[in-house]
Amino acid sequence: MCGIVGVVGSNQATPVILDALRRLEYRGYDSAGIATLEEGHVERRRAAGKLDHLATLLARMPLPGVTGIGHTRWATHGAPTENNAHPHGTERVSVVHNGIIENFEELRRELEAAGQVFSTDTDSETIAQLVDYHLQRGLSPQDAAHACLRRLEGAYALAMIFAGHDGMVIGARHGAPLVVGFGDNEMFLGSDSLALAPLTRRIAYLDDGDWTVITPAGAVFFDMAGNPVERPVKLTALIAASVGKDGYRHYMEKELHEHPVVIGQTLQRLIDPATRRVIMPDLPFDLAAIPRAVLTACGSAFYAGMIGRYWIEQYARLPVDIDVASEMRYRNPPLARGGLGLLISQSGETADTLAALRGMRAAGQHIVSVLNVEQSTMARESDAVLGTVAGPEISVASTKAFTAQLSVLACLTIAFGRARGLIGAQQEESMVTNLLDLPSKATEVFERHDEIRRMAAIVAEARDVLYLGRGSMFPVALEGALKLKEISYIHAEAYAAGEMKHGPISLIDSTVPVVATVPSGPLFEKTLSNLQEAKARGGRLLVFTDMAGAPRLREIAECVVAIPTVDEFVAPILQTIPVQILAYEVALLKGTDVDQPRNLAKSVTVE
């Protein structure tokens, strides 16, 4: 959530900051602002809504200066108005903040009693007022910032500039990511390396509790006690070209078309094509000795985990518990000694999943994370990382990261089954072959695009949509319903198909499309029976299947999209792609903001 950019150097800061904020739009936001130092004074411009509103304001009221900070805000405390937009501050200091300050009410009461005058409804302004309070009492910017940080409770990534101190920005992180970028006689701060991609490839990650002072000459780092610390400078693989739309209308459209490549690249890292064997990275524990696994994630990553659970339990016979991360840490489940905590996150910074990781770590679990950002906080706190080679995913609605996560979980399933003596060499070769065939099969899915568009025209007219699936297709149905809700704003619910007659069937009539995912396989007949029940109640059946299942389904369904037939093991990966395309096509018809749907953020770094 939110985006931070800081710049200090010899060039005008505002154009650099505005450009970097555009690269952070994928995180979700509802207002934006920039502050710079102009002849030693803090000047700022803020606007509600999209960055174009801020750009228009800056064209009318330019903001010069070579030292500055910028922010895109996703509202938590206070409405998304210009007054509540960041940067916040006084004539002495300006601050941008990602996260939530949990003790802001207590601090605000203290500061107001001491004479500080607040002007916003946000928790973030408390930071600026607390720093200002210490500045007025003679502390240096560094000492005032440090004194403030020691009082804050909650999650934050911060950047601050100070009147009279051109050429200096102070940053800090606790629970929300922040990176430092190293240039030639210029330095940068960013919420992630993507913001800095065209500016530098040399970055350093702040650890939790770190704060930093950056000047054109470089950066110095401190821990929360104020002791100097060293943080390694790394080369990021991101370059500016990797975050363009490449001629597509939306990032989501581009990322949908990247499914085949992403699946292939991810499998290439984990499979030896010559031997048809899965290759796991070095793990500091024995897979065969794991008594139980606990899988947790949020959003689409949770649905990927549900499919992973089906696979691991079916093929490796390892019991797997699964929880939404925001619930798991408070449910406080009993965990088996020597068990495995398996966590999934695209960003590696998801607050609830990170909190669950730390809870499982404290309970003595081995920790393996499936991540797309291998320099993230979760990566640094895991025993091992299974990387998804998905590249930057800009659209808020996850697409290619989901199939990459499934590709990793499929390989992990094979590794577990082999270690536990349940998958022999011949079966492993067969399962791996099915996985390696997926990129070409995924490419064929896009040949069904016109049929999916026809289905989308029906869904776009609906107010409510019901998604159904059985077995590993149930999480695919959940993913389809989530995508439709996220980007078209149509209410959609997904159910295990066998549950339909236990309540949801009462919702079905001719105005409620029923979208079902029904590939051929052992559960085909059961699901077909459930669809017959929906048909008998007047439901409009819209079905995703494969070539083998299509003839039977065309007898009862209004619309059938048949993709290549694959083994039931890998079918969830392939069946995911058309349900995501459906949501995209419906959103186009509805005219919604596909890449930046309302109220949503890409990286959810607060609980």
Residue 41 identity (one-letter amino acid): H
Among 456, 431, 452, 465, CA closest to 571: 431
Give the bridge partners for 32, in sequence order. Answer: 47, 72
Helix (H) or strand (E) run with residue 33 in it: strand 31-38
DSSP three-state, residue 240: helix
Sheet holding 228-229, edge to edge: 88-89, 93-101, 154-162, 169-174, 211-215, 218-222, 228-229
Structure tokens at 362: 């404290």
Rg, C-alpha atoms of the chain: 25
Active site residues: 2, 602
- CA torsion sign for 352, 358, 363, 367 is positive
Give the number of other CB atoms < 10 A from CB of residue 122.
24
DSSP string, 301-346: HHHHHHHHHHHIIIII---EEEEEHHHHHHH-----TT-EEEEEES
User: Rounded to an integer, what distance in angstroms lies between the CA atom of residue 135 and that of residue 116?
Assistant: 12
Are the CB atoms for 497 and 470 separated by under 8 Å?
A: yes
Count each helix (H run) and each strand (E run) in the chain, helices first: 19, 27
Helix (H) / strand (E) element for 550: namely: helix 550-554
For tokens 């990781």, name the residue.
357
DSSP one-letter code for 3:
E
- Distance of alpha carbon 109 from alpha carbon 502, whole angstroms: 52
The three-state secondary structure class of 349 is coil
- Of the candidates 2, 6, 35, which has an alpha carbon nearest to the alpha carbon of residue 190? 6
Q: Which two tokens stand for residue 331?
A: 């449910």
